[in-house]
């Protein structure tokens, strides 16, 4: 019987589920899972996850005391909700989960480190090894510097919202564990900018990840590459062989239902034979390259703003839920 594309992909690449939906993770049985503020907000709105949300809200209220207002409780709860989902996910996947630092801290190294340590502390208290957790941080220069110091403390990081080779090189030099270049969002920018459609190896997102992967393997960096944000399975096919790929449930289903040959496109042995120039890296070079790369500049800014907006929506959702819980409690008391 012919193997599906998903079965073949798993033979050369670690498959990661890009979702906060626990049912999808149970269905596709990925090695790892990753979430982000948008995915967490979507999951928190699903009726089946209300018990998780309610438990986190009650714990936050207990922690802050009876005098705390709903906004403060919601703010604490949202920081604990990602870990609550992470713990559920780790009960299913054999590998790691990525838990994201507040995107609004993306340009604050110290605040990013403080929140990352708090996330790890929560996992530690739940008896979960830090080897099973990746802290997701946006690939700004302050974010990369925070990740460099966290890695020295044994806290492993996943640098996200990565669009340019300058971001990737800075991450590798900082010895971060993993990077997540956003394939589909790069494609989106070029399609909007040029009005053209791109397929196969012409896809700018595919080209970006291929360049980064070959650079890392050529120069022997330990940082691994996890392609993310896919628009179609054609992009996934072109990146077969990447260290990891994080894939949304809809595309996992398509891969699972598609047969055919899946040749390996990315291979560390091939990278050794390529002529690649080493890029020196420091803050000045990073900021210059970032300013000159319009796509990376636009998409990083847009990504941070989008994740920040999702967090604000999640905070409001939690505050509204808390108010309903309070109203329900008052009705129960009145009925007695």
**What amino acid positions are annotated as catalytic residues?**
136
Looking only at the bridges linking them, the beta strands covering 178-181 and 157-162 are parallel
**Cβ-contact 217, 271 below 8 angstroms:** yes
Question: Among all chains, which residue has been given the structure tokens 């000159």?
Answer: 292
Looking only at the bridges linking them, the beta strands covering 14-18 and 157-162 are unpaired
DSSP per-residue letters across 200-253: GGG-HHHHHHHHHHHHHHHTT---EEEEB--SSHHHHHHTTTSSEEEE-HHHHH
Q: Which residues of 125-141 are buried (b: 16+ CB within 10 A; e: fewer)?
A: eeebebebbbbbbbbbb
Checking phi first, is residue 238 left (phi over 0); if not, alpha (psi -120 to 50) or beta? alpha
How far apart, in whole angstroms, are the C-alpha atoms of residue 227 and residue 194?
23
């Amino acid at each position: 019987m012919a193997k599906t594309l998903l079965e073949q992909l798993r033979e050369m690449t670690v498959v990661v589920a890009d979702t906060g939906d626990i049912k999808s993770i149970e269905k596709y049985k990925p090695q790892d899972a990753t979430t982000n503020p948008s995915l967490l907000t979507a999951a928190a709105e699903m009726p089946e996850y209300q018990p998780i949300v309610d438990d986190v809200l009650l714990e936050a209220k207990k922690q802050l005391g009876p005098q705390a207002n709903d906004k403060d409780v919601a703010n604490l709860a949202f920081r604990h909700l990602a870990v609550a989902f992470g713990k559920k996910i780790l009960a299913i996947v054999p590998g790691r989960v990525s838990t994201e630092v507040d995107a609004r801290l993306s340009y604050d190294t110290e605040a990013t480190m403080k929140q990352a340590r708090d996330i790890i502390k929560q996992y530690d208290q739940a008896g979960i090894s830090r080897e099973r957790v990746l802290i997701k941080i946006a690939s700004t220069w302050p974010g990369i510097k925070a990740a460099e110091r966290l890695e020295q403390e044994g806290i492993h990081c996943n640098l996200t919202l990565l669009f340019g080779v300058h971001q990737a090189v800075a991450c590798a030099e900082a010895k971060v564990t993993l990077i997540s270049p956003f394939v589909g969002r790069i494609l989106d920018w070029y399609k909007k900018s040029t009005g053209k459609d791109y397929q196969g190896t012409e896809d700018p997102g595919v080209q970006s990840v291929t360049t980064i992967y070959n650079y890392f393997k050529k120069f022997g960096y330990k940082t691994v590459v996890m392609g993310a944000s896919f628009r179609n399975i054609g992009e996934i096919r072109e990146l077969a062989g990447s260290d990891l790929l994080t894939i949304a449930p809809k595309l996992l289903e398509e891969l699972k239902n598609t047969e055919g040959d899946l040749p390996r496109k990315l291979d560390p042995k091939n990278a050794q034979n390529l002529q690649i120039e080493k890029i020196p890296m420091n803050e000045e070079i990073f900021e210059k390259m970032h300013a000159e790369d319009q796509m990376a500049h636009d998409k990083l800014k847009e990504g941070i703003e989008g994740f920040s907006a999702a967090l604000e929506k999640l905070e409001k959702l939690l505050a509204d839920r808390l108010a309903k819980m309070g109203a329900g409690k008052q009705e129960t008391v009145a009925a007695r």
